[in-house]
Amino acid sequence: MTMKMPDPAAGRSPDSADNINPTLKDRAREELHNYLLIAGYLYVCFGVALIYKSALLQQEGVNFLPHGLAAIKALILGKFVLLGEAAGIGSRLRVSSVAMAVTFKTLMFFLFLVLLSVAEELVAGRIHGKPFAATLADFERSSVRMLVSESLLLLVILIPLITAKEISRYLGPGGLRGLLFGKNAPDRR
């Protein structure tokens, strides 16, 4: 069974005409709210991964728990996600189900975030006085297993994020929130 993705503009009532042209302040508030939700989610995910890594390293006698690293990484990748959304990554896809939209968007965002993360490392290296070649050499010296595992972790973290966003888009404004928290949720008795 395939499900057609709804047109977000379809089904608007005359009462929602004020939502069509939000003010700059409303848009900024919505963007900040969206950013904080994404960055918060990423912080929790990265924080748990770092706690796990710390526990493994502690067994080997290495003390490691950089609390700020998870926050910084979450803030940067959260902004990258918003940039990807603003650029319309995956929004032009015509798919017949939410599952297909989630799959394609997750893969596209994954590639986008990996590319931006590499670019960020190159720029950070340059700011610290390293030439691009030296930064790339650092990448080459890094464990391939570590780079692959971090990339796969990012992919796994993106799946629920993109899934929630796609289901929310499918249900329309406030639909997912209502479904999760009982406001305007359909009666399932």
Do 98 and 54 have their domain in common?
Answer: no
Average pLDDT of the chain is 80
pLDDT category at 145 given cuts 50, 70, 90 is confident
The reported pLDDT for the residue numbered 184 is 58
Is residue 2 domain-resident?
A: no
pLDDT category at 19 given cuts 50, 70, 90 is low
HSE (CB half, 13 Å, CA atoms) of 44? 9
Higher pLDDT, 91 or 10: 91
Q: Is the pLDDT of residue 12 over 60?
A: no
Give the chain's domain count.
2
Is residue 128 domain-resident?
A: yes
Is residue 120 domain-resident?
A: yes
Do 117 and 149 have their domain in common?
Answer: yes
pLDDT category at 159 given cuts 50, 70, 90 is very high
Do 147 and 106 have their domain in common?
Answer: yes
By residue range, what is the domain housing residue 100? 88-173
Average pLDDT rounded to a whole number, residues 123-151:
79
Domain termination site, one of 10, 41, 71: 71
Do 97 and 60 have their domain in common?
Answer: no
Average pLDDT rounded to a whole number, residues 171-186:
77
Amino acid found at 9: A
The reported pLDDT for the residue numbered 36 is 94
Do 163 and 101 have their domain in common?
Answer: yes
Do 58 and 93 have their domain in common?
Answer: no
Mean pLDDT lowest among 3-12, 69-78, 105-114: 3-12
Do 127 and 163 have their domain in common?
Answer: yes
Is residue 45 domain-resident?
A: yes
Is residue 79 domain-resident?
A: no
Do 140 and 103 have their domain in common?
Answer: yes
Q: 0.85 exceeded by the pTM?
A: no
The reported pLDDT for the residue numbered 120 is 79
Do 97 and 137 have their domain in common?
Answer: yes
Q: Is the pLDDT of residue 163 over 90?
A: yes
Do 106 and 50 have their domain in common?
Answer: no
The reported pLDDT for the residue numbered 105 is 92
Mean pLDDT lowest among 45-49, 75-79, 102-106, 129-133: 129-133
Is residue 10 domain-resident?
A: no
The reported pLDDT for the residue numbered 65 is 67
Do 169 and 92 have their domain in common?
Answer: yes
The reported pLDDT for the residue numbered 178 is 83
Q: Which of 1-5, 33-37, 51-55, 96-100 holds the top average pLDDT?
A: 33-37
Is residue 101 domain-resident?
A: yes
Do 94 and 64 have their domain in common?
Answer: no
Is residue 80 domain-resident?
A: no
